[in-house]
Amino acid sequence: MFHKEGHKIIFISLLIVVGLFFLIDGLVSIEWLRKTLLIVVLIFFILILQFFRNPKRHTHANEQHAISPVDGKVVVIEEVFEKEVFNEKRIQVSVFMSPLNVHVTRYPISGKVSYSKYHPGKYLVAWHPKASEENERTTVVVENSSFGRILYRQIAGALAKRIVNYAKQDMQVYQGEDSGFIKFGSRVDLFLPLNANIKVELNQKVRGGESIIAEMS
């Protein structure tokens, strides 16, 4: 199954691939070169399909858990001062996505969206220390009775040129549901209460909609 954000790109890529197949087959007479070019074009199309895949995830909804919003690797776990919304210290957990990861963003908790804002910006590599404040990004806050308010931030990377965010203020959202998409390499930051019990470690691989990032007792 493919994400709806990729339908147009997949269709256009398919037309290009078919056209290139006919072009290469008609113009390239050297057998080994023709086969090589056809394989390269096919690999390109397979990579496009892989990037926009949207596998079904089995979310076990739990009010006491905050789950990973994306697939990837945990690259940051630290106490920081969050100044866009909270103006107080929070625990930041960041998950980096390579172009090969699933790039669907999912809601980490169920609750009400109390803040949703898009910020234009730069396209620094996603692991850059200033990417969270200077890159193109969206900030979303979801609140419920267990965690209070949780902030997650979709951050564009050097390759990502478009962030899609479905969260709108006052929406009622559900843990694990599709909340957006980031195209071509990026990262997501989670800002959790200081008393949250972090359940992941640095460099741990996580799955969006399934892996537990934090727990409230």
Q: Cβ contacts of residue 41 below 8 Å, gap of 6+?
A: 17, 20, 21, 24
Judge whether 160 and 183 are in contact, CB under 8 Å.
Answer: yes
From 68, 110, 179, 186, the catalytic residue: 186
Determine whether 114 is an active site residue.
Answer: no
Place of tokens 């962030």: 163
Q: How many helices (H) and strands (E) does the chain have?
A: 3, 14
Q: Where are the beta strands (DSSP E) in the chain?
A: 65-67, 72-82, 88-97, 104-106, 111-119, 137-144, 148-156, 162-165, 172-173, 178-183, 186-192, 197-198, 205-206, 212-215
Amino acid identity at 198: I
Q: How far apart are CA 133 and CA 135, in angstroms?
A: 6
Q: How far apart are CA 196 and CA 23, in angstroms?
A: 58
The DSSP 8-state label assigned to residue 138 in this structure reads E
Q: Which residues are known to be catalytic?
A: 186
